[in-house]
């Protein structure tokens, strides 16, 4: 069984558990961003991608490096929606050609999608328990000289 996933350096610093000899000096430091949705997503999935990316970026979690992870989440979310629609249409149990009553196969698909979504949600800190383990970073400060000029003297 695999051990715990390593904590990013900024989380170790926030929690006060950082030890200089254990820090990864070559750790990537991606900038908080709201990436464009990938082209392979349909319109509904692109809308969900944009909604989630803006939400996550607002909490300092979304970066360009997370594009594919969020795209996977949105694809699974779309599949879950379609499976749920079929379960609502046919019901949780269906009758086979032999008049046997079985669980609707789309219910199994929906349940599997929910499990996969929960896994990705915990990676992004979208569940209460995962938020208790993660301190979300503040969005990156802009280094635009004009914006700094406009905001001079407004530091809170």
Question: Could you report the per-residue pLDDT of 11-70, keeping only the tens digit for each?
Answer: 676 667 778 777 777 777 778 889 999 999 999 999 999 999 999 988 888 889 899 999
Q: What is the pLDDT of residue 12?
A: 72
Does some domain include residue 22? no
Give the pLDDT mean for 123-137. Answer: 71
Instruction: Flag whether pLDDT at 99 surpasses 70.
Output: yes
Q: How high is the pLDDT of residue 10?
A: 62
Residue 3 within any structural domain of the chain: no
**Segments forming the whole domain that contains residue 80:** 32-150
- Cβ density class 56-91: b for 16+ within 10 Å, e for less: bbebbbbbeebbeebbebbbbbbbbeebbebbeeee
Is residue 100 assigned to a domain? yes
Is 41 domain-assigned? yes
């Amino acid at each position: 069984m695999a051990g715990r996933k390593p904590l990013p350096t900024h989380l170790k610093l926030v929690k006060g558990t950082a030890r200089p000899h254990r820090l990864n000096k070559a750790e990537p430091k991606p900038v908080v961003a709201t990436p464009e949705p990938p082209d392979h997503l349909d319109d509904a999935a692109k809308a969900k991608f944009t909604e989630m990316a803006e939400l996550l970026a607002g909490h300092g979690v979304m970066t360009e490096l997370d594009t594919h992870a969020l795209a996977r989440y949105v694809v699974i979310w779309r599949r879950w929606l379609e499976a749920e629609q079929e379960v609502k249409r046919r019901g949780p149990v269906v009758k086979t050609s032999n008049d046997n009553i079985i669980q609707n196969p789309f219910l199994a698909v929906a349940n599997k999608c929910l499990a996969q979504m929960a896994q990705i949600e915990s990676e992004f800190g979208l569940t209460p328990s995962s938020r208790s383990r993660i301190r979300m970073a503040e969005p990156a400060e802009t280094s635009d000289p004009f914006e700094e000029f406009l905001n001079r003297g407004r530091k809170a």
